[in-house]
Amino acid sequence: MSSALHEGPYLESWRWMSRQIRCGLAPDEPRLIEHYLAEGRYLAACTSTSPWTIAVTTFRLLLDTASDTALPWQWRTLCLDHAWRPLRDIETQALCTCRLKRWQSFAWQLATCELEPSISLTELLQGFPDE
């Protein structure tokens, strides 16, 4: 079996989990993030998917989700709490100057990330006022 055939179902599963995380579809299921990270590690180690791409995509997903004020606070903080893990993987993959600079930029983004309060459910239901 070629690696591309073997990779397909895992890559699709990993992408589906990323959508669930980014949209906060299961904010009371913290194991989803663990499962997503494990699936990414499998893809990076056992398929032709680039470990660098997996790590960068995972980091961006977690940091972007943490910054999304429309999502529940506990989900956002959980994503922020896990963002160091792909950042560590990015650092181990930073074997050239351009990648090292990207890692430094990502490390700075994580170090300086300040979460705004989440929008309340009432505010979400009300939407934007008519002008």
DSSP code for 130:
P
Distance CA 64, CA 46 (A): 27
pTM passes above 0.85: yes
pLDDT of residue 129: 55
The candidate with the shortest Cα–Cα distance to 39, out of 64, 21, 24, is 21
Residue 90 to residues 27, 33, 100, 106, 129, Cα–Cα distance (Å) = 26, 18, 9, 9, 43
Phi-psi category of 110—alpha, beta or left, where left has phi over 0 and alpha has psi -120 to 50? alpha
User: Torsion angle, CA of 48/23/36/111, rounded to 10 degrees?
Assistant: 90
61 close to 19: Cβ distance less than 8 angstroms: no
SS3 assignment, position 115: coil
- Bigger pLDDT: 81 vs 5: 81
- Written as six digits, the tokens of 125 are 């239901």
* C-alpha to C-alpha distance for 82 and 85, rounded to whole angstroms: 6
Q: Where are the domains of the chain?
A: 7-111
pLDDT in tens, 75-125: 999 999 999 999 999 999 999 999 999 999 999 999 999 999 998 867 656
Cβ(86)–Cβ(62) below 8 Å: yes
pLDDT at 8 over 50: yes
pLDDT tens digits for 31-51?
999 999 999 999 999 999 999
